[in-house]
C-alpha cells in the first residue's frame, strides 16, 4: 500500500472514536492486527492492539503509545497506522490487561 498520499491525523484526532478498529501495518505492509481500544487521547494515549489470532480469536492485546504509531487516513477515509515493529516484536511485548 502506498501511504504517500494518505493524510496524517492531527494530535486532536488521536482519540478512541477515530482509532478503535484501525488496522496496524508493519514493515512491508504486513497486517499486524487492529486497535482494540484506546486509553486517553492525543499523543500520550495508550493504544491497545490485538496482535495475531484469527478473526479476533486467540489475539494478544498489547499496549503501545500512540506517538509510536503513524496514524493516517486513506483516500476512502479509512484510518490505519504504520509502524516499524514486526508482528513478532509486538507478540513479545507484555500482554495488556485492563
> Position of cell 490487561?
97
pLDDT for the residue numbered 52: 80
pLDDT for the residue numbered 2: 79
Half-sphere exposure of 32 (CA within 13 A, CB side): 27
Can you list the pairs that 65-69 forms with residues at least 24 positions away whose Cβ atoms lie under 8 Å?
A: 66/14, 66/19, 66/38, 66/42, 67/43, 69/24
The angle at the Cα of 64, spanning 58 to 66, to the nearest 5 degrees, equals 125
In sign, the C-alpha dihedral spanning 81, 84, 42, 35 is: positive
At 3-62, the pLDDT tens digits run: 788 999 999 999 999 999 999 999 889 999 999 999 999 989 999 999 987 666 778 999
Q: What is the pTM of this model?
A: 0.89
Residues 55-71, mean pLDDT to the nearest whole number:
87
At 24-37, the pLDDT tens digits run: 999 889 999 999 99
Amino acid at each position: 500500500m502506498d501511504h504517500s498520499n494518505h493524510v496524517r491525523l492531527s494530535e486532536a484526532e488521536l482519540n478512541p472514536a477515530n482509532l478503535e478498529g484501525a488496522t496496524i501495518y508493519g514493515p512491508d505492509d504486513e497486517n499486524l492486527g487492529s486497535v482494540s481500544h484506546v486509553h486517553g487521547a492525543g499523543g500520550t494515549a495508550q493504544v491497545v492492539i490485538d496482535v495475531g489470532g484469527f478473526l479476533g480469536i486467540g489475539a494478544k492485546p498489547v499496549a503501545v503509545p500512540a506517538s509510536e504509531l503513524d496514524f493516517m487516513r486513506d483516500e476512502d477515509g479509512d484510518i490505519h497506522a504504520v509502524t516499524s515493529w514486526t508482528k513478532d516484536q509486538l507478540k513479545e511485548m507484555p500482554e495488556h490487561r485492563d
